[in-house]
Amino acid sequence: MSETILAIQNLSKKYKIKTHPFSLKYAWLKAVNDVSLNIRKGELLGLVGESGCGKTTLAKLLLFLEKPDQGKIQWRDTLLTGLGPKKLKFWRRLVQPIFQDPFASLNPKQTINQILQEPLLIHHLGDRRKRNRAVNQVLTEVGLSPKLKTAYPHQLSGGQRQRIAIARALILKPEFIIADEPTSALDVSVQAQIVNLLLESQAKRQITYLFISHNLSLVANIAERIAVMYMGKVIEIMERNQFLGEHHPYTEVLWSSIPRLERKTKINVQQWGEPPNPLFLPSGCVFHPRCKQKIEICKKEVPSLKEIKPGHWIACHLF
Amino acid sequence: MLLKVHNLHVWFRKKKETIPAVNGVSFSIAQDDTLGLVGESGSGKTITALAILGLVPPPGEIIKGEILFLGQNLLFLPPKRWQQLRGKEISIIFQDPMTSLNPVFTIGEQIAEVFTHHFEYSTKEAKIKAIELLKKVGIPAAESRLNAYPHQLSGGLRQRVMIAMALAAQPKLLIADEPTTALDVTVQAQILELMLNLKRQMGMSILFISHDLTVVAQVVRRIAVMYAGKITEMANTEELFKNPLHPYTQGLLNAIPRIEDVSDKKRHLRTIAGQNGQAFTTLGCPFAPRCDKRLPICLRRMPDFREYSEKHQVACWLYE
């Protein structure tokens, strides 16, 4: 087991939301609720959950695009939370994001060359010749021709744009990449190409990945570990060889929701219902209203993450 | 035969170029049958659906072909007659239930409209019918939900309302255009099961359109795979998964991250080289530039869509 490179401790972020568009009342939406997670050096950690579970907010907190209300984020020996904007600049170079929609994340008024040079200019890296060389190199690395340098984003296909977004992340030689649903806007055949590109860069450059997705079958195919989020909480963390073992009841629901070609046992999917309103979370375990294995204690007490096997953590009273 | 689409061509003419979005598509759906139309974005699957409803957006036009619904060619119908069919005999569920429901009317009003428009029910009767339908699609507390506006419902409930509206008039054909793409997986499983149950009860035919082969396979008996405006392969669902013939179908099946494939070791996905689209203008097979089994003839001539075995057709030179 390799060392922890990024430690997240009791991280929380809540937003003040109107309970109704015309209402004067506010409620707190706990987008990320007391999350602790360790990310190991060089691994690809998959983070899955349904929409609204807080996975993107967690990514924003790690990127320092949002300020946490509570908790610590530590990179190697450096405590990042509490650092001022100037001292954080080193982190902004080490961590790079790749977003979902390559149509929205590239500036339509810049050429590919300008888009790729901008990170280097911001961090004052290299002279003009070196920057040009870096752009050519990174374009080749993501499987594009350096001739595309003069093109604008609208001239490229979705897959090509996502490659540019990856190139923009790679050009700073980051150590940690947060990919937030990087393939959900793409066709399946293109998705496979993009995912393989990320896996290659992980192996070649020893980059640590946080791969966020709602697609459990995709993540299960590529991740070394998976963390499952539900309503702002991490409810399960598992190693690759534990993907097919026993799980938190919510993870079971996610597994069995995946369309399969041959389904042996018939399950009653209607009883799952839908996620609760995040403004008014249920008491106790947030999953208990949808859980068919719930016991009395689930309504009262919030379960904490427990290690049931080495490396396998579950937050559930049943374990 | 309930619906027979024959040699359908829908072209989009722009100033300089013509894009044949649908380029010679033929298929048929019998009564009480289900067909899946699968393809990546830009393959022409949605335009095919819109053509059946007479809703092709300009500058698109139906250039040639036939759409026979119960033996009647819809393309020769006056627009008014076509409008009477829409929502009554043929209805559609769209991908995004937020943009396809009207935000300023309650869902009760929107469902009741189907009855008042097509059947001249009174408002009161229509309301009773609407409650019945909401119960049928599994919406809890249907009476009180009747007065809810779309924004007050979750994505899954909204899609249930869309299904209720689409099935209100007991159509003979239901077109579902990516009905679960905007939904979470747990909700998707529920909506797919609901559609299957309703089909069993009501006996309508379904044309199910999706980019996701595994989702389509949950619902339909036969699948047609589209690429660049053409159907490249059509077979029964099990047959297609067991014995995919066209290199594009094979590539597509391999590229899907399947839960069945999860093992301890392997950690990459199999790919199809190249990009889709921009293949409309070739004389040969549109997939040829990306195909790893390409023959010299593939670039020059389009293969015919031929019977390979009973219930399995393919357009590929490898099987000529």
Q: What is the pLDDT of residues A172-214, one digit of tens each?
A: 999 999 999 999 888 888 899 899 999 999 999 999 999 999 9
Per the CB < 8 Å rule, is A274 touching B156? yes
SS3 A203: helix
The predicted pLDDT at position B235 comes to 95
State which H helix or E strand residue A16 sits in.
Answer: strand A4-18
Q: Are A30 and B166 in contact (CB under 8 A)?
A: no
Q: What is the spatial distance between Cα B213 and Cα A188, in angstroms, rounded to a whole number? A: 10
Count of structural domains within chain A: 1
Q: Where are the alpha helices (DSSP H) in chain A?
A: 55-62, 89-94, 112-122, 128-141, 158-170, 188-205, 216-222, 249-257
In the structure, what pLDDT confidence band is assigned to residue B281 with cuts at 50, 70 and 90?
Answer: low
DSSP string spanning A174-198?
A: -SEEEEESTTTTS-HHHHHHHHHHH
- Please give the DSSP secondary-structure letter assigned to residue A63: T
Give domain status of residue A274, yes or no: yes
Q: What is the CATH number of the domain that holds A96?
A: 3.40.50.300
Task: Grade residue B256 by pLDDT with cuts at 50, 70 and 90.
Answer: confident
Q: Quick one: pLDDT at residue A1?
A: 56
Distance, first Cα to last Cα, chain A: 24
User: Residues with Cβ < 8 Å from A129, sequence gap 6 or more?
Assistant: none
pLDDT at residue B279 is higher than 60: no
Alpha-carbon distance of A107 to A125, in angstroms, equals: 21
Pairing outcome for strands A312-314 and A233-239? antiparallel
Tokens at residue B1, please?
């035969």
Cβ distance of A196 and B256 shorter than 8 Å = no
Q: Grade residue B97 by pLDDT with cuts at 50, 70 and 90.
A: confident
Three-state DSSP class for residue A76: coil
Res A96 pLDDT > 70:
yes
Dist. CA B180–CA B160, nearest whole Å: 11
Q: What is the pLDDT of residue B117?
A: 86
- Check if the beta carbon of residue A34 is closer than 8 Å to that of residue A11: yes
Closest residue in chain B to residue A161, using alpha carbons only: B275
Percent of chain A with pLDDT over 90: 66
Distance CA B105, CA B125 (A): 18
Considering only residues A62 and B274, tell me which one the structure prediction assigns the higher pLDDT: A62
Q: What percent of chain B has pLDDT over 70?
A: 96
Establish if A53 touches chain B: CB-CB under 8 angstroms. Answer: no
pLDDT of residue A26: 87
Q: Does a structural domain hold residue A186?
A: yes
Q: What is the pLDDT of residue A259?
A: 83
- Looking at residue B204, its pLDDT comes to 92
Of B101-115, B187-201, B259-273, the range with the lowest mean pLDDT is: B259-273
* Residue A107 located in a structural domain: yes
The whole-angstrom separation of Cα A8 and Cα A242 is: 22
- What span, in angstroms and rounded, lies between the C-alpha atoms of A184 and A26? 33
Chain B nearest-CA residue for A269: B190
Taking the CA of residue B31 and the nearest CA in chain A, the distance in Å comes to 25
Q: Is there a domain that residue A129 lies in?
A: yes
Confidence check: pLDDT of A25 > 80:
yes
The encoded tokens of residue B294 equal 């390409």
Name every residue whose Cβ is closer than 8 Å to that of residue B201 and which is 6 or more positions away in sequence.
none
Which residues on neighbouring strands pair with residue A26, listed in sequence order?
A: A18
Chain B nearest-CA distance from A221, in A, is 5
pLDDT higher than threshold 60 for residue A272: yes
Least confident of A16-30, A269-283, B272-286: B272-286
Q: Name residues whose C-beta falls within 8 Å of residue A38's C-beta, 6 or more positions apart in sequence.
A: A4, A6, A7, A8
CA distance B187 to A272: 8
Q: Please, which pLDDT band fits residue A306 given cuts at 50, 70 and 90?
A: very high
Among A192, A259, A274, select the one facing B271 at the smallest CB separation.
A192
Question: If you average pLDDT over residues A275-286, what whole number do you get?
Answer: 85
Span B173-178, average pLDDT? 93
Q: Does residue A319 lie in a domain region?
A: no
For residue B208, what pLDDT is reported? 95
Q: Label residue B57 exposed, middle or buried (CB < 10 Å: 0-12, 13-18, 19+).
A: exposed
- What residue numbers bound the domain in which A202 lies? 4-314
The mean-pLDDT minimum among A224-233, A262-271, B76-85, B269-278 falls in A262-271
Q: What is the ipTM of this complex?
A: 0.82
Q: Which position has the token pair 């066209």?
A: B246
Q: Mean pLDDT check: name the lowest of A129-133, A222-226, A268-272, B48-52.
A: A268-272
Nearest C-alpha of chain A: how many angstroms from B78? 38
Domain membership of residue A112 (yes or no) is: yes
Closest residue, chain A, to B185 (C-alpha): A257
Q: Assess A271–B contact: CB distance below 8 Å, yes or no.
A: no
How would residue A13 be classed by pLDDT, with cut points 50, 70 and 90? Answer: very high
Are B235 and B27 spatial neighbours (Cβ–Cβ below 8 Å)?
no
Tell me if B210 sits within 8 A of B178, measured CB to CB: yes
Whether residue A155 lies within 8 A of chain B, CB to CB, comes out as no
Closest Cα in chain A, distance from residue B107 (Å): 19
pLDDT at A36 (0 to 100): 94
Tell me if B269 and A260 make a contact (CB, 8 A cut-off): no
Distance from CA of A159 to the nearest CA of B (A): 8
State pLDDT tens for residues B266-277: 677 888 877 665
Given a cut of 70, whether residue B278 has pLDDT beyond it is no
Count of A-B CB contacts under 8 Å: 123
What three-state secondary structure class fits A249? helix
Query: Does some domain include residue A248?
Result: yes
pLDDT tens, residue by residue, B45-86: 999 999 999 999 988 999 999 999 998 999 998 988 888 889
- The minimal CB distance from B257 to the residues A221, A241, A275 is found for A221
Residues 6+ apart with CB under 8 A from B221: B33, B34, B35, B236, B237
A190 in a structural domain: yes
Strands (E), chain B: 3-13, 18-29, 34-38, 60-69, 72-73, 90-93, 173-177, 205-210, 222-227, 230-236, 306-309, 312-314
Q: Is A124 buried (19+), middle (13-18) or exposed (0-12) by CB count in 10 A?
A: exposed
